[in-house]
Amino acid sequence: MIQIVIVGVGGQGTLLASKILGHIAVASGLDTKVSEVHGMSQRGGSVITHVRISKEGETVYAPLVEQGGADAVLAFERLEALRALPYLKEGGTMILNNQKILPMPVITGAAKYPEDALETIKSSTKTVAVDALSMAVECGSPRAANVVMLGVLSKFLPFAPELYEDAIRALIKPRFIDMNLAAFAKGRALAD
Partner 1 sequence: MKELMLGNEAIVRGAYEAGVRVVSSYPGTPSTEMTECAVKYDGIYAEWAPNEKVALEVGIGAAVAGARTMCCMKHVGLNVAADPLFTVSYTGINAGLVIVVADDPGMHSSQNEQDSRNYAKAAHIPMLEASDSAECKSMVKRAFEISEEYDTPVLLRVTTRIAHARSLVELGEREERPLKDLEKNPRKYVMMPGFAKGRHVVVEQRENKLLADCNGFIDLNKLELSGKELGVVCSGAAYQYVKEALPRASVLKLGMVYPLPFELVEQLSDYVEKLVVIEDGEPFFEEAIKAKGFAATGKEKTGVQGELFARKIAHLFAGAPDPGPQETQNIPGRPPVLCPGCPHRGLFYVLHKLGVRVSADIGCYTLGAMAPLNAVDTVVCMGASIGMAHGGEKARGRGFAEKTVALIGDSTFMHSGVTGLINAVYNESTGVVIIADNSTTGMTGHQENPTTGKNLKGDIAPCIDLVKLCESLGIKRVSIADPFNLKEFTALVKAELAADELSVIIAKRPCALLKCVKPQPALHITEDCIKCGACMQLGCPAIVDQGNGPSIDKSLCNGCGLCPKVCPKGAIKGGAEE
CB of residue 179 to partner 1, shortest distance in Å: 18
Residue 31 or residue 166: which is nearer to partner 1 going by CB?
Answer: 31
Residue 120 or residue 191: which is nearer to partner 1 going by CB?
Answer: 120
CB of residue 192 to partner 1, shortest distance in Å: 28
Round to whole Å and give the CA distance between 168 and 172.
6
What letter would DSSP give residue 75? E
CB of residue 106 to partner 1, shortest distance in Å: 5
Residue 105 or residue 161: which is nearer to partner 1 going by CB?
Answer: 105
* Binding residues vs partner 1 (CB under 8 A): 9-11, 22-23, 25-26, 31-46, 60-64, 66-67, 79-80, 82-86, 101-108, 110-114, 133, 142
Residue 10 or residue 140: which is nearer to partner 1 going by CB?
Answer: 10
Do you know the residue count of the chain? 192
Determine the residue type at 77. Answer: E
Give all strands (DSSP E) within 10-140, no chain letters: 32-35, 46-53, 70-75, 88-97, 126-130
CB of residue 155 to partner 1, shortest distance in Å: 24
- Angstrom CA distances, 3 to 68, 79, 166, 185, stand at 10, 21, 21, 23
Round to whole Å and give the CA distance between 167 and 155.
16
CB of residue 77 to partner 1, shortest distance in Å: 9
- Which element (helix H / strand E) includes 76? none
Residue 99 or residue 180: which is nearer to partner 1 going by CB?
Answer: 99
